[in-house]
């Protein structure tokens, strides 16, 4: 009797343990499958991460982080000024045309705060997909004002911005922003405005179409350079006298990125122009990190067997022009040659095909016009007085 | 119109300039590209200076000002011929005809500037090329 009772107890215990273990196993298995963070995402070798239009890369954000003050002037006359506070947060103050404060927007490590005069503050948790930059803070502040947001009710994330559910219309830089100004480290600052192409403005011999993002670069309040982004032609051209000048177009980026991997905007123009100056200055002061010495081939062998010259980056046989506006002509010629399968031996072979000659004619024309005359680079209009 | 002394002087000057550039290329001129005077801004300046001196010397042999210009042209031609050989020896790039044209212009600028330096010390003349190519040298 006692044995039967004991056996029954042991049996029940075993059943309970079995059920618990089975349920535990199922729960664990489900949890492992459900947790998305546990799976390692594999990327094919030699491939860049999938495109994320909102992301500009580590270098961009490292440069952006050195901004001390960022001003956005909007088409409606309001001006947002973002500055970094002592505790590392970003604070934007939005003012109207008369200089009256409309709102403040604070970007903290783990919270966003929207403040309006004589109104209850609105606090929100940042969206993990949003990179909170100075520009974003200014645009968000302006967007909340435009949407007439008075409380936290009815707010939603839309295209990386907090919007009221009833708000319509997209927040596009071209339609909303008139001008941006970046005050950076080392006394550098840049200001970019969107200007219309004027009659007579030409690039590569053709009249300009579309808007021009015109940037002026200053060092300690003195102009040191100019840059333009031609929005229709998709060409970035810059001149920093005595330091660097040149241009980058779709042709230059086709091979590696299949064209521009993003659409340059006014903030990028400021940071890119500042970076060109800063890096060039750093190289001049500190020199290159690595030095590449030419191998010394046997002169006798070199005499009888000349180097098989592959197409070099830049201006082949004219590398002293690599840092001038002529570089654009050389790179366009290289791309044209690569596309049409040309080499130095097919320089002038009109009797078989005109395709290589066409590349050469374009290059000659480009050299004649100097890609883009420096004097044609547009300046942004004079900046209004800040409050 | 042919002035053999100046022609040879031009060629020799370019050769010497190229040899110096080759020897000191990575230290003085450029660490990146093949030693050739148009691959570095400093080398362009150095070669132009060498040609300027050669033009000056060649024009020193001239009878008069027009003859000095002829001598400078011969210096350019001599240097240009050696430059073209050099371009093909180091391997012509895809822009080689444009490079040759640019090179000739640079060499001409150096040679003629050198000849112009000697101008104030030469009579105006006006019979260049009519003397059967004879020079004082």
ipTM of the complex: 0.79
All residues of chain A having their beta carbon less than 8 Å from the beta carbon of residue B43 are 320
Question: Which of B29, B94, B97 to substitute to test the interface with A, most A CBs within 10 Å?
Answer: B94
At residue A284, the pLDDT reads: 67
- A332-369 burial by CB neighbour count: b if 16+ within 10 A, else e? bbbbbbeeeebebebbeeeeeeeebeebbebbbebbee
pTM: 0.55
Among the listed ranges A163-167, A250-254, A260-264, which one has the minimum average pLDDT value? A250-254
Q: Helix, strand, or coil here: B106?
A: helix
Question: Which of A307, A320, A322, A345 to substitute to test the interface with B, most B CBs within 10 Å?
Answer: A320
All residues of chain A having their beta carbon less than 8 Å from the beta carbon of residue B94 are 311, 316, 333-334, 337, 342-344, 347
At residue B36, the pLDDT reads: 93
For residues A222-240, average pLDDT: 88
Residue A376 has pLDDT above 60, yes or no: yes
Residue A173 has pLDDT above 70, yes or no: yes
Does the beta-carbon distance from B31 to A367 stay under 8 Å? Answer: no
At residue A105, the pLDDT reads: 94
Residue A32 has pLDDT above 60, yes or no: no
> Which contacts of A349-357 are long-range, i.e. CB under 8 A and separated by 24 or more positions?
none
All residues of chain B having their beta carbon less than 8 Å from the beta carbon of residue A333 are 94-95
Using 70 as the pLDDT threshold, list the residues of chain B that sit under it: 126-137
Q: What are the tokens at A144?
A: 């909340």
Does the beta-carbon distance from B34 to A294 stay under 8 Å? Answer: yes
Does the beta-carbon distance from A308 to B102 stay under 8 Å? Answer: no
| DSSP code, position A321 | G
Q: Helix, strand, or coil here: A217?
A: strand
At residue A12, the pLDDT reads: 79
At residue A299, the pLDDT reads: 47
Question: Which of A300, A317, A350 to substitute to test the interface with B, most B CBs within 10 Å?
Answer: A317
Does the beta-carbon distance from A294 to B41 stay under 8 Å? Answer: no
Residue A373 has pLDDT above 50, yes or no: no
Check CB contact of A34 with chain B, cutoff 8 Å.
no
For residues A327-352, average pLDDT: 79
Residue predicted with more confidence, A372 or A228: A228
For residues A114-130, average pLDDT: 85
CA dist., res. A213 & res. A174, Å (int)? 10
Most confident of A26-30, A251-255, B46-50: B46-50
At residue A184, the pLDDT reads: 93
Give the minimum alpha-carbon distance from B74 to chain A in angstroms, rounded to a whole number.
24
Sign of torsion, CA A231 A233 A236 A239? negative
At residue B87, the pLDDT reads: 92
Check CB contact of A343 with chain B, cutoff 8 Å.
yes
**What proportion of chain A, given as a percentage, has pLDDT over 90?**
21
Does the beta-carbon distance from A317 to B97 stay under 8 Å? Answer: no
Other CB atoms within a 10 A radius of the CB of residue B5 amount to 16
Check CB contact of A319 with chain B, cutoff 8 Å.
yes
**φ, ψ dihedrals at B22, nearest 5°:** -60, -45
Residue A193 has pLDDT above 80, yes or no: yes
At residue A33, the pLDDT reads: 54
CA dist., res. B75 & res. B73, Å (int)? 5
Residue A371 has pLDDT above 90, yes or no: no
Residues B45 and B78 sit within 8 Å (Cβ to Cβ): no
Check CB contact of B95 with chain A, cutoff 8 Å.
yes
Check CB contact of B32 with chain A, cutoff 8 Å.
yes
For residues A215-243, average pLDDT: 88
By C-alpha distance, the chain A residue nearest B106 is A318
Per-residue pLDDT band at A11 (split at 50, 70, 90): confident
At residue A4, the pLDDT reads: 65
CA dist., res. A51 & res. B28, Å (int)? 43
- Count CB pairs under 8 A between chains A and B: 83
Residue A295 has pLDDT above 70, yes or no: no
Per-residue pLDDT band at A282 (split at 50, 70, 90): confident
At residue A5, the pLDDT reads: 60
Across the strands, what pairs with A213?
Answer: A194, A229
Does the beta-carbon distance from A347 to B97 stay under 8 Å? Answer: yes
Question: Which of B93, B102, B105 to substitute to test the interface with A, most A CBs within 10 Å?
Answer: B93
Q: HSE, CB side, 13 Å, CA atoms: give it for residue B119.
A: 11
Averaged pLDDT score across all residues of chain A: 78
Check CB contact of B28 with chain A, cutoff 8 Å.
no
Residue A63 has pLDDT above 80, yes or no: yes
Per-residue pLDDT band at A27 (split at 50, 70, 90): low
Per-residue pLDDT band at A386 (split at 50, 70, 90): very low
At residue A183, the pLDDT reads: 94
Residues A234 and A210 sit within 8 Å (Cβ to Cβ): no
Residue predicted with more confidence, B41 or A247: B41
At residue B133, the pLDDT reads: 42
Per-residue pLDDT band at A50 (split at 50, 70, 90): low
CA distances from A212 to A231, A235, A250, A380, B40 (A): 6, 10, 16, 9, 33
């Amino acid at each position: 009797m006692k044995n039967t009772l004991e056996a029954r107890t042991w049996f029940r215990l075993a059943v309970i343990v079995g059920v618990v273990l089975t349920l535990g196993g199922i729960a664990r298995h489900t949890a492992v499958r459900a947790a998305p963070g546990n799976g390692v995402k594999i990327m094919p070798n030699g491939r860049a991460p999938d495109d994320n239009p909102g992301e500009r890369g580590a270098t961009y954000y490292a440069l952006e982080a050195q901004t001390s003050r960022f001003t956005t002037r909007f088409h409606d006359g309001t001006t947002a000024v973002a500055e970094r506070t002592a505790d590392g947060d970003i604070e934007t103050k939005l003012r109207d045309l008369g200089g009256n404060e409309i709102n403040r927007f604070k970007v903290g490590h783990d919270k966003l705060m929207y403040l309006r005069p004589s109104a209850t503050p609105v606090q929100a948790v940042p969206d993990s997909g949003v990179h909170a930059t100075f520009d974003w803070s200014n645009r968000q502040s302006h967007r909340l004002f435009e949407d007439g947001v008075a409380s936290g009710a009815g707010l939603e994330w839309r295209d990386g911005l907090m919007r009221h559910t009833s708000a319509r219309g997209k927040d596009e830089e071209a339609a909303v922003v008139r001008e941006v100004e970046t005050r950076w480290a080392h006394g550098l600052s840049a200001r970019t405005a969107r200007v219309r192409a004027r009659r007579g403005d030409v690039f590569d011999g053709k009249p300009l179409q579309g808007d021009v993002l015109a940037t002026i670069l200053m060092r300690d309040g003195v102009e040191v350079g100019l840059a333009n982004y031609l929005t229709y032609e998709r060409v970035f051209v810059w001149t920093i006298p005595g330091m660097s000048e040149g241009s980058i177009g779709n042709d230059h980026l086709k091979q590696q990125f299949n064209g521009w991997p993003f659409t340059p905007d006014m903030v990028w123009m400021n940071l890119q122009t500042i970076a060109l100056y800063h890096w060039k200055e750093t190289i001049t002061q500190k020199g290159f990190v690595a030095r590449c010495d030419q191998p010394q081939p046997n002169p006798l062998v070199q005499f009888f067997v000349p180097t098989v010259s592959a197409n070099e980056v830049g201006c082949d046989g004219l590398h002293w022009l690599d840092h001038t506006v002529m570089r654009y002509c050389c790179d366009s010629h290289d791309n044209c040659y690569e596309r049409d399968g040309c080499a130095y031996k097919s320089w002038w072979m009109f009797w078989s095909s005109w395709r290589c000659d066409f590349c050469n004619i374009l290059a000659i024309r480009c050299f004649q016009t100097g890609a883009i005359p420096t004097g044609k680079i547009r300046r942004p209009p004079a900046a209004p007085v800040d409050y | 119109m042919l002035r053999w002394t100046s022609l040879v002087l031009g060629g020799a000057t370019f050769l010497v300039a190229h040899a110096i550039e080759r020897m000191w290329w990575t230290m003085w001129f450029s660490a990146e590209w093949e030693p050739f005077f148009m691959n570095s801004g400093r080398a362009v300046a150095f070669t132009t200076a060498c040609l300027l001196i050669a033009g000056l010397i060649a024009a020193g042999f001239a009878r008069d000002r027009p003859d000095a210009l002829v001598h400078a042209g011969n210096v350019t031609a001599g240097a240009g011929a050696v430059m073209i050989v050099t371009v093909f020896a180091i391997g012509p790039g895809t822009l080689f005809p444009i490079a040759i044209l640019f090179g000739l212009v640079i060499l001409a600028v150096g040679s003629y500037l050198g000849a112009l330096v000697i101008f104030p010390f030469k009579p105006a003349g006006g019979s260049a090329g009519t003397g059967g190519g004879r020079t004082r040298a």
